[in-house]
């Protein structure tokens, strides 16, 4: 019911409305003379943008936007440079570097021979007790001798830690076991394995959730000062690359520590902290980080829960429909049973928190979709934006189900370079049906992009728009930038606030050093930001675009 209101009061309201309409709002900052890709299908390219406070006031031609400037307005001449909405890395793992001597190899796939000679050399020249560590890949994992006993012979007095660059395996020696508090007789945690030999003795190799627990243990050994330095370095590198939002999985760094580091740093970028549930031998430890507020500070949010449902092709642990071509004794395994997956799904419903699941193999995709059907199917799930991370095994026959369940796929284009390994593991025919990308988009599935590795978005853009060996799966560069901005925002329920450059949205953007829509593909990884803004505030400035 309307309140009684007098005619003079109505007239006051009328004139107030009239005068404010006549008065142009003045921008705080305008960026003009650019080639601005907005990620908005309604108006993909504009020349200029006006910002007021932390949000975009208007977009348009340089002339239109110029008219919004007043005596206090800062004017940035883009000089024809390309501008994009700030990159939103939908899948990242913030790491802290370990103290010790890191082994460096010529590639991500060093041979066991290379690794052992590097260890021997390092051990002979560093004091006893120094940690020797390095990243290794499939070749080392496949080597029978790559175990605790071999490492003990090479380095009886130095802790040695070889980590799969996938983050899914470790190989440790006895000295490192002691440092980590591993006795070797530990029961396997749910979803993980301490690999044992025929006599039941721990080989030094960990898989899946046994590895993820160690990630956390190792991180707890990193000093606060080192962790803070690494956090600051990550944030400044990201700003220099035009990244304005990062969705970070809280492994290895746990959610409480991550929030504390981001508060202390302090972060200038928008950081989403996603719970990662670890396990012990009895259960999933779901209470970790549960008392954290949803928004501990204006730029930090805590939401979502991630599980890893199977492994990767490197360790032959992703669960496939068929036996592995190069080891028919296995078809991989799932970290959780279908019943566990149903329990996880029900918990997500109860807590009303977004669920994110790492899935690689086609068998695990199918099992997870079955679990979603068993817990309500399309009617319950289609609006909840359950995320499949990686999703290599979303084969053509599963695409329709993935779409109907409203699933968001977060892909990692750098992983497309693993095609040769996939052919070795799965054979050429199966490989042909794996790692869908453009075909998901064509089926109207939201596809976002996360780095899950090297932090460089333009390296990912290169592979997203030139999928090795499968050109038909390439997105256009514009589509890939939309995936990396607007769809990544959608993947965190934030598309109303960010992800495209439109009036009313947050002014998160990057002015780029080169035209990413036209340079040669191999030039893309050299792209940097000249100016990065988060909420209208400059968080990185290479001093190459002129401000007046
Ligand atoms: Zn990951």
pLDDT band, very low/low/confident/very high, at 25 (cuts 50, 70, 90): confident
- pLDDT of 73: 96
End-to-end Cα, the chain, rounded Å = 52
480 and 420 in one domain?
A: yes
CA 251 – ligand 1 centroid, Å: 9
CA of 250 to the centre of ligand 1 (A): 10
**Listed residue (39, 388, 546, 52) closest to 244, CA to CA:** 39
Q: Which residues contact 21 (CB under 8 A, 6 or more apart)?
A: none
Q: Identify the residue whose tokens are 């109907």.
A: 404
Dist. CA 229 → ligand 1 center (Å): 22
CA distance 248 to 255: 9
With tokens 């497309």, the residue in question is: 416
| Whole-number pLDDT of residue 16 | 44
- What is the average per-residue pLDDT within 433-442? 97
Residue 541 forms part of a structural domain: yes
Q: What spacing in Å lies between the alpha carbon of 546 and ligand 1's midpoint? A: 39
Tell me the three state secondary structure of residue 31: strand
- Cα 117 to averaged position of ligand 1 atoms, centre (Å): 30
**CA 203 – ligand 1 centroid, Å:** 25
How far is ligand 1, taken at its centre, from the CA of residue 128, in Å? 34
96 inside domain: no
Instruction: Give me the mean pLDDT over the 269-275 stretch.
Output: 98
Co-location of 56 and 200 in the same domain: no
pLDDT at 454: 87
Q: How far is the CA of 243 from the centre of ligand 1 (A)?
A: 18
**Do 522 and 442 belong to one domain?**
no
CATH of the domain at 512: 2.30.40.10
What value does the mean pLDDT of the chain take? 95
| pLDDT exceeds cutoff 80 at 19 | no
Report the separation in Å between the CA atom of 452 and the middle of ligand 1, taken as the mean of its atom positions: 5
Tell whether the model's pLDDT for residue 151 goes beyond 80.
yes
| Residue 23 banded pLDDT, cuts 50, 70, 90 | low
Please check whether residues 406 and 474 belong to one and the same domain: yes
Q: Confirm if 151 and 116 have CB atoms less than 8 A apart.
A: no
Q: Is the pLDDT of residue 508 over 90?
A: yes
Portion of the chain with pLDDT greater than 90, in percent:
93
Last residue of one domain, picked from the residues 177, 195, 219 = 219
For residue 449, report the distance from its CA to the centre of ligand 1, in Å.
12
Mean pLDDT (whole number) for 123-140: 97
Q: How far is the CA of 167 from the centre of ligand 1 (A)?
A: 8
CA of residue 104 to ligand 1 center, whole Å: 22
The Cα 538–Cα 321 span in angstroms is 50
- Residue 458, domain CATH: 3.20.20.140
The residue-averaged pLDDT of 74-90 equals 98
Output the CA 373–ligand 1 centroid distance in Å.
25
Q: Is residue 426 part of a domain?
A: yes
Whether the CB-CB separation of 446 and 490 falls below 8 Å is answered with yes
Q: Are residues 511 and 470 in the same domain?
A: no
In a domain, 245, yes or no: no
C-alpha 432 to ligand 1 mean position (Å):
23
**What's residue 113's pLDDT?**
97
Residue 208 CA to ligand 1 center (angstroms) comes to: 12
Mind listing the pLDDT tens digit for each residue in 443-471?
999 999 999 988 899 999 999 999 999 99
Tell me, yes or no, whether 253 lies in a domain.
Answer: no
Ligand 1 center to 503 CA (angstroms): 34
pLDDT at 29: 98
Q: How far is the CA of 142 from the centre of ligand 1 (A)?
A: 22
Ligand 1 geometric centre to CA of 81 (Å): 33
Long-range contacts of 288-297 (CB under 8 A, 24+ apart): 288/254, 288/255, 288/256, 289/250, 289/254, 289/255, 289/256, 292/255, 292/256, 292/259, 296/259, 296/262, 296/263, 297/262, 297/263, 297/266, 297/267
Task: Tell which of 201, 219, 237 closes a domain.
Answer: 219
Q: How far is the CA of 43 from the centre of ligand 1 (A)?
A: 34
In the reported structure, the alpha carbon of residue 93 is separated from the centroid of ligand 1 by a whole-number distance in angstroms of 6
Cα(214) to centroid(ligand 1), Å: 15
- Say yes or no to pLDDT of 40 above 70: yes
Question: What's the CA-to-centroid distance between 77 and ligand 1, angstroms?
Answer: 39
How many whole angstroms from 454 Cα to the centroid of ligand 1? Answer: 12
CA of 91 to the centre of ligand 1 (A): 6
Q: Are residues 486 and 522 in the same domain?
A: no
Asked if pLDDT for residue 8 goes beyond 70, the answer is no
Q: Are 316 and 448 found together in one domain?
A: yes
In a domain? residue 348: yes
- The answer to whether position 187 is within a domain reads yes
CA of 270 to the centre of ligand 1 (A): 19
Q: Are residues 411 and 506 in the same domain?
A: no
On whether both 477 and 439 belong to a single domain, the answer is yes
Tell me the mean pLDDT in the region 83-112. Answer: 95
CATH number at residue 174: 3.10.310.70
Are 479 and 330 members of one domain? yes
Q: 169 alpha carbon to ligand 1 midpoint, in Å? A: 13
Same domain, 66 and 193: no
Q: Is position 282 within any domain?
A: no
Distance CA 261, CA 447 (A): 30
| Cα-to-centroid distance, 414 and ligand 1 (Å) | 12
Query: 274 alpha carbon to ligand 1 midpoint, in Å?
Result: 11
pLDDT of 22 > 50? The answer is no
Number of domains in the chain: 3
Q: What is the mean pLDDT of residues 89-117?
A: 95
**143 and 111 part of one domain:** yes
Which pLDDT does position 546 carry in this prediction?
A: 74
Q: Which domain holds residue 322?
A: 288-495
What pLDDT shows up at residue 548? Answer: 62
- 161 Cα: distance to centroid of ligand 1 (angstroms): 20
Residue that is last in its domain, among 469, 495, 521: 495
Q: What is the pTM of this model?
A: 0.94
Q: What phi, psi does 360 have (nearest 5°)?
A: -115, -50
What percent of the chain is modeled with pLDDT above 70? 95
């Amino acid at each position: 019911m309307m309140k009684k209101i007098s005619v003079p009061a109505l007239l006051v309201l009328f004139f107030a409305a009239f005068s404010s309409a006549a008065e142009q709002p003045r921008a705080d900052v305008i960026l003009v003379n650019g080639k601005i890709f907005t990620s908005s299908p309604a108006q993909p390219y504009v020349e200029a943008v006006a910002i007021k406070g932390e949000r975009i006031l208007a977009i348009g031609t340089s002339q239109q936007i110029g008219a919004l400037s007043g005596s206090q307005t800062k004017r940035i001449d883009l000089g024809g440079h390309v501008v994009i909405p700030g990159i939103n890395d939908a899948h990242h793992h913030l790491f802290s570097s370990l103290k010790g001597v890191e082994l460096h190899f010529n590639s991500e796939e060093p041979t066991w021979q290379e690794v052992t000679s590097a260890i021997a050399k390092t051990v002979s020249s560093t004091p006893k007790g120094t940690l020797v560590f390095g990243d290794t890949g499939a070749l080392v994992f496949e080597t029978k001798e790559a175990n605790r006993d071999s490492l003990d012979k090479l380095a009886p007095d130095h802790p040695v830690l070889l980590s799969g660059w996938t983050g899914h395996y470790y190989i440790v020696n006895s000295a490192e076991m002691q440092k980590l508090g591993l006795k070797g007789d530990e029961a396997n945690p749910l979803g993980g394995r301490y690999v044992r030999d025929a006599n039941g003795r721990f080989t030094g190799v960990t898989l899946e959730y046994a590895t993820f627990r160690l990630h956390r243990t190792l991180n707890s050994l990193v000093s606060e000062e080192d962790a803070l330095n690494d956090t600051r370095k990550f944030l400044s590198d990201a700003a220099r690359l035009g990244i304005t939002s990062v969705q970070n999985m809280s492994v290895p760094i746990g959610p409480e520590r991550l929030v504390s580091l981001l508060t202390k740093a302090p972060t200038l970028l928008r950081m989403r902290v996603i719970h990662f549930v670890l396990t012990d031998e009895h259960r999933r430890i779901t209470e970790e980080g549960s008392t954290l507020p949803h928004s501990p500070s204006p730029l930090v949010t805590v939401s979502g829960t991630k599980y890893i449902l199977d492994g990767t092709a490197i360790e032959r642990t992703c669960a496939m429909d068929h036996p592995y071509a190069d080891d028919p004794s296995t078809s991989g395994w799932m970290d959780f049973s279908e019943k566990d997956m149903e329990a996880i799904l029900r918990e997500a419903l109860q807590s009303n928190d977004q669920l994110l699941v790492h899935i690689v193999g086609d068998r695990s995709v199918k099992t997870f979709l079955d679990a979603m059907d068993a817990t309500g199917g399309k009617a319950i799930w289609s609006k909840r934006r359950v995320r499949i991370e990686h999703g290599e095994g979303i084969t053509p026959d599963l695409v329709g189900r993935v779409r109907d369940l409203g699933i968001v796929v977060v892909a990692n284009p750098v992983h497309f370079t693993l095609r040769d390994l996939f052919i070795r593991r799965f054979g050429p025919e199966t490989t042909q049906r794996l790692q869908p990308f453009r075909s998901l988009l064509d089926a109207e599935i939201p596809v976002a992009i996360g780095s899950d590795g090297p932090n460089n978005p333009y390296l990912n853009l290169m592979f997203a728009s030139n999928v090795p060996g499968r050109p038909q799966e390439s997105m256009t560069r514009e589509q890939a930038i939309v995936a990396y901005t607007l769809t990544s925002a959608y993947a965190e329920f934030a598309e109303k606030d960010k992800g495209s450059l439109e009036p009313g949205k947050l002014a998160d953007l990057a002015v780029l050093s080169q035209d990413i829509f036209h340079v040669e593909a191999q030039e893309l990884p050299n792209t940097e930001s000249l100016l990065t803004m988060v909420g209208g505030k400059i968080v990185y400035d290479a001093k190459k675009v002129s401000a007046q």
